[in-house]
Structure 1
Amino acid sequence: MTVIVRDLRPDVRADAEGFSHTRRLALPYMLSTPESVVHTVTHAHPNAHFGQLVAEEDGEIIGTAQISVAHDSPEPGQGSANIYVRPDRTRRGAGSLLLRTAEERLAALGVTKLFAWVLDEPENRAFAERNGFRASRSAYFLRLDLTGALPPRQDPPAGVELRTAADFADDPRPVFELDAAASSDEPSDIETEFTDYDAWLAETWQHPLLNRDLTTVAVVDGRPAAFSVAYTDGGARYGTAMTGTAREFRGRGLAKLAKNDSLHRARAAGCTEAFTGNDTGNEPMIAINKWFGYEICAKEVRYVRELG
């Protein structure tokens, strides 16, 4: 049996299905559909040089890689390569071949520092360390059974209104401005400058997993102040893509208010399982999620390697 690595063909349905299926098997805590796979590769900013690679064995996709250049970082030369192999198809050389291909491509684009997320399991961490990576920060995946009890819905305080992202369909720029503000100090190894509205429209606002009806925005005196962004995959799974508050509105419980409303909307819409993720050092958000009833179901570690 021979394993080969090639580019994903976004116009071939079987490629998108195989890529998405592999990701769901290897990383069941994150939502993926064939449509989201195609959208991501066809709407990425050109300066990101975003690529999706597949490892194929006898015509079957058994591994995937997403590679990109951190074009929106003020520090040049940074990139990422996130590699996942089907749990039932490991030890075939797919991961090594995907990593080697990713490193060669990114190095040719001037990347000198490579970041990769790795599930916190002995074999995965050993693979990263054998290939010269060193551990950096870490993050949790959390799961919530939406068929169980949720905290009761709360009435917003005076001057605060709860809306949905769908209410901003005619002019989503206020949501973009909130997203940029709330994301500015999110824990990350790579600093980014979130300023390109057109790129945000293409990559985020039009993302096929984004559910605007389930995304709740807390508005204070007419201005979006906090939000909880909902992803759904067309089935019963719901994911929180982002929950945040603009700095000047923090400390008022608005993020919790928005997320609670979104979770209630999700359950009413038939979602039965909710996922989210938190940096392990983000204790305030972890506490909020545990208040909702989320439980930690997995951990991943960010690894970094100097190229060249």
Structure 2
Amino acid sequence: MNRLQQISADVEIRPFEERDYEAVVAVSNAVFPDRPWTEDELRYEDTHLDSNKYALERHVAVDRQAGGTCGYGEIRHLPWNFHPRKFGMTIRVSPELWGRGIGARLWDRLLQSLEARGALAVRTLVKEDRAHAMQFVRTRGFTEVMRTWDSHLDVASCDLSRFQEDVAQAKAAGVAIVTLRDELVNDPSCLPHVHALEMELGADVPNPDPFTPVDLQQWRQHTVDAPWFIPDAYFIAAIEGQYAGVSTLWRPQIGAWLQQGLTGVKRGYRGRGIATALKVRTVEYARTHGYAQIKTENEIHNAPMIAINDRFGFQRQPVWITFLKELAG
């Protein structure tokens, strides 16, 4: 047995348990330190996934000698692109142990589960600058289906005076920009209408699979009830009492940055400067509240949204590539 085989043999792959949350988050943050998250955030996501409809299966890799968790892998249904026999996949291994066969062991275990579930396809995200991960998926029969820019905005350097004309255009078109906090105060029954807006806009977001709307409860759990929700940074464009567009920011529990959520405008209201006016409000919020950076992602062919982000000064990072593997089912 060579050294790599010995290292792989010293690793146990077992089902995820409650005690593993802290270690799994530590591995994820070591792999992607620019996208840190917390044990509380992962727990929230797990406990608010509708287990009656959506599957989530996670396994951890444990070093038998050291006794620590050195990686994890999971498959899950994707609520916004739901198909009962299609899954998303994540595999993460502690960086100091890359190239030692641990990811391969996790993949083998996940593949067993996919086959047992009669899966038709599985997809995963890989950062383009991670050559080892690119090779890992390609040698296992995954093919590229989509590319998504990861972009970062330095809030302090963004010159908002450049967008006065866009804001004026939206205002002249009768657009009022309000926060979800304002709407909840004025009309506590507004959430079904906000949910309907997001579901309509979600269908226009580029994706490898068809968009599948989620119900009001699932949407609430992902937005207004979630720990990352900011009621004063959920901006809605309204025209004569009708919701026309939205732009949101989420607050991670670690770091002086904000995550850009959905930005979109209904088709009938486009071309009036609404998306830009909404984005101006997000940058104003970040600046007022002392956040240094806004991070966002956009599919590379989503030209209108990318053009807006370029105007604001978002700087493109290495792309996320969506890889898909079709299975026999």
- Whether contact under 8 Å (2:79, 2:214) holds in the other structure is no
Cα separation, 2, equivalents of 1:270 and 1:38: 27
Cα separation, 2, equivalents of 1:31 and 1:108: 33
- The residue aligned with 2:153 is 144
Question: In structure 2, what residue type is equivalent to 1:55?
Answer: A
**Residue in structure 2 matching 1:162, options 177, 182, 187:** 177
Describe the SS at the equivalent of 1:48: coil
Cα separation, 1, equivalents of 2:216 and 2:152: 32
Q: CA deviation at 1:28?
A: 4.1
1:244-290 CA-to-partner distances (Å, cap 9, x unmatched) read 12222222221221122012101211211211001011121111111
Q: CA deviation at 1:208?
A: 1.6
TM-score, with normalisation over the residues of structure 1?
0.89
**Residue in structure 1 matching 2:120, options 112, 121, 124:** 112
Q: Does residue 82 of structure 2 align to residue 77 of structure 1?
A: no
- The residue aligned with 2:60 is 54
Q: Does residue 49 of structure 2 align to residue 44 of structure 1?
A: yes
Cα separation, 2, equivalents of 1:31 and 1:211: 18
- Whether contact under 8 Å (1:166, 1:213) holds in the other structure is yes
Change beyond 3 A, Cα 1:84–1:280:
farther
In the alignment, structure 1 segments of 5+ residues that lack a partner are none
Aligned length: 305
Tell which deviates more after alignment, 129-138 or 103-112. Answer: 103-112
Change beyond 3 A, Cα 1:131–1:147:
same
Cα separation, 2, equivalents of 1:241 and 1:66: 24
- Whether contact under 8 Å (1:141, 1:278) holds in the other structure is yes
Change beyond 3 A, Cα 1:64–1:74:
closer
Which of the two has greater helix per residue? 2
Q: Does residue 173 of structure 2 align to residue 173 of structure 1?
A: no
**Residue in structure 2 matching 1:123, options 129, 132, 140:** 132
Kindly name which structure, 1 or 2, has the bigger radius of gyration based on alpha carbons. Answer: 2
Matches within 5 A, 1:82-97: 82-97=90-105
Matches within 5 A, 1:182-201: 182-201=201-220
Change beyond 3 A, Cα 1:127–1:150:
same
Cα separation, 2, equivalents of 1:54 and 1:4: 8
Cα separation, 2, equivalents of 1:112 and 1:100: 17
In the alignment, structure 2 segments of 5+ residues that lack a partner are 1-6
Question: In structure 2, what residue type is equivalent to 1:175?
Answer: V
Q: CA deviation at 1:191?
A: 0.8
Cα separation, 1, equivalents of 2:79 and 2:223: 17
Q: Percent identity?
A: 25
Cα separation, 1, equivalents of 2:91 and 2:119: 17
TM-score, with normalisation over the residues of structure 2?
0.84
**Residue in structure 2 matching 1:278, options 261, 285, 298:** 298
